[in-house]
């Protein structure tokens, strides 16, 4: 997947390279989690929650950042800050939800 991301990003405008590469790498991570993880057969709430909180919004934010980096005030000046803040807070949110469910 990493090689595909590298080669594919060479055929895109430079501003879309990050979003494209990240999308390909997240697809690789998701395929690995679904088919090759030793825990995938357990499934469950946490297994389903992970992509909904971390992967999908991060991928969407990376595309919003790259496509609106010249037109949106927020993304033009603070796009990567918004992206990084969401990435770090999404892992914390995922942990807190799982921790809260484990206390029940």
- pLDDT tens, position by position, 72-100: 777 777 877 888 888 889 889 989 998 89
Task: Determine contact, residues 90/53, Cβ cutoff 8 Å.
Answer: yes
Helix axes 56-67, 17-31, angle to 10 degrees: 170
Residue 37: is its pLDDT beyond 70?
A: no
Output the pLDDT for position 93. Answer: 93
Q: Where is 52: in which H helix or E strand?
A: none
Least confident of 1-10, 23-32, 45-54: 1-10
8-25: average pLDDT: 78
What are the φ/ψ torsions at residue 78 (nearest 5 degrees)? -135, 20
Structure-token pair, residue 93: 């949110």
Which band of pLDDT confidence, cut at 50, 70 and 90, is reported for residue 12? Answer: confident
pLDDT of residue 46: 79
51 burial class (0-12, 13-18, 19+ CB within 10 angstroms)?
Answer: middle
Whole-model pTM above 0.75? no
């Amino acid at each position: 997947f990493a090689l595909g991301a590298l080669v594919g990003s060479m055929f895109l405008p430079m501003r879309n390279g990050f979003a494209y590469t990240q999308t390909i790498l997240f697809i690789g991570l998701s395929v690995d989690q679904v088919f090759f993880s030793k825990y995938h057969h357990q499934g469950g709430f946490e297994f389903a929650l992970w992509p909904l909180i971390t992967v999908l919004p991060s991928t969407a934010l990376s595309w919003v950042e790259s496509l609106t980096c010249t037109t949106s005030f927020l993304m033009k000046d603070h796009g990567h800050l918004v992206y990084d803040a969401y990435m770090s807070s999404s892992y914390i949110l995922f942990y807190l939800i799982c921790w809260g469910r484990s206390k029940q």
